[in-house]
Amino acid sequence: PTVSFTQSSNTITASQSGALSSIAVGSAFTVSDSSSNNGTYTVASNDGTNLVIEGTRFTDQATTGDKFSFSASSNLSFVDGGGSADTITAPNGTFVDSSGTALAAGTKLRIAGTSTANDGRTYTVASVSANTSTVTLLSTDEVTASSNVSGTVSNSAYFQFTASSNLNFVDGGSDPDTITAPANTFVDGTGAALQAGTQLTIAGTSDANATKTYTIASVSSNKSTVTLVSSDVVTAGTNLSGTVTALETIGTVSATSYFKGDQLTRKHRVDDDREVTMSLNAANGAFEKAIRAMKLIAQGSFGTAGGLDQNTVRASQSIHLLESAFDDTTLGTPPFGTEVDDNIEQVQIDISYHRVLIDSTNKMNKNFVGFLDASVAHMENSDVTETITKMLDDQRALEASFQVFARIRQLSLTNFI
């Protein structure tokens, strides 16, 4: 499955229902292969398909980074699928990128010039047929049925600026290169400055910058100047015309756990009546909360949209997680919902109890061993003469008792009559 990014709601939406269900609330995950949203984020809520992040803001992204545009001449059709997903059809080989590969799932298509209710709408690709003539849309997208119409289908530009002799490329020398334009140019749909990491594609400038892609490091406060990453090198040019476009792209979301071990439970029998259960490992909630708190502080780079300096709420979130990780009682509302009750204080109590139990059992066993050793020593180290004398005395006493017993048996009442 692929995903799209929505800035207004800070949401990642998967093209396949339930594809994100394995990413737990409060956990950290990494976005890669995205032009504008690469980084590590923390989950605020997740229904399996729509995942909302904490802190920083996404850049709106959803389609491939390769420009796609198709101008139809009475050969574009919008098909209502009824109980199935709706589709858009065109001639064979239409829905491909510049390399001839079918448009990727998640690509957003914008419709224009059809003189139908579909104009101005944006539809999301779920799949493309083998002959690349038919796009199947997400089940949530609904078209207005139309056949054999003319118009334009293109992927959505997250940002586009058409310059009229007011676009400049500045060689910064030892400093990073910049691109300048009028104030409030480099903004998204909400008017906010484009985020660091956004990739800008240049076209129509009639110089060496045309067709190149540059990556934003920062945007000036008046949104007129883009400072590029240090590895990007522009060809100096002033007062140029052309277009600057940031295409929406598909990103890859992955979530990996810090814990790679097993969670086996072991039991140790300390005596016939007692045993200790050993189940503590690094997956324990106390350690997880502490590690998550440290990752919240560490994520992002200082001075960028994902840095701690621009997401200070992470500090209070981390403090709460650390308090919850160490103490049995934590004040305040958990920032990521109800947490597990595990804490290091309880871990210490459990370990101490096990140590006391094992120690007391060891002492009891040692005392019993000492008693047995003393008994053995008493028997092995006895005086031989004294022992023989006692045995002879006991023998004589036993013989006397037998003689008395025999004499008594001989007695009869008739002997006294």
What are the tens digits of pLDDT across the range 216-265?
A: 888 999 999 999 988 899 999 999 998 888 765 545 555 567 777 777 88
Task: Grade residue 366 by pLDDT with cuts at 50, 70 and 90.
Answer: very high
Task: Grade residue 64 by pLDDT with cuts at 50, 70 and 90.
Answer: very low
Mean pLDDT of the chain: 82
In a domain, 37, yes or no: yes
Across the range 310-322, mean pLDDT stands at 88
Per the listing, tokens 């779920």 go with 126
Whether residue 342 has pLDDT greater than 70:
yes
Across the range 122-134, mean pLDDT stands at 89
Exposure string for 153-192, b = 16+ CB within 10 A, e = fewer: bbbbbbbebebeeebbbbeeeeebbbbbbeeebbebeeee
Domain count, the chain: 4
Range(s) of the domain holding residue 126: 69-155
In a domain, 134, yes or no: yes
In a domain, 197, yes or no: yes
Question: What pLDDT does residue 63 have?
Answer: 37
In a domain, 375, yes or no: no
- The runs of H, that is alpha helices, within 23-127 are none
- Structure pTM? 0.42
Q: Is 142 in the same domain as 215?
A: no
Q: Point out the domain boundary residue: 327, 342, 357.
A: 342
* Token pair belonging to 175: 């400093």
Question: What pLDDT does residue 128 have?
Answer: 92
Q: Is 172 in the same domain as 229?
A: yes
Across the range 89-102, mean pLDDT stands at 84
Q: Is 145 in the same domain as 163?
A: no
Q: Which residues contact 265 (CB under 8 A, 6 or more apart)?
A: 277, 278, 279
In a domain, 16, yes or no: yes
Q: Which residues contact 61 (CB under 8 A, 6 or more apart)?
A: 4, 5, 34, 35, 36, 37, 158, 248, 249, 250, 251
Q: What is the CATH number of the domain that holds 215?
A: 2.40.30
Please name which of 148, 100, 151, 156 lies closest in space to residue 128, comparing C-alpha atoms.
100
In a domain, 275, yes or no: no
What are the tens digits of pLDDT across the range 151-210?
A: 888 875 667 788 888 999 999 999 999 999 999 999 876 677 887 778 888 988 999 999
In a domain, 347, yes or no: no
In a domain, 323, yes or no: yes
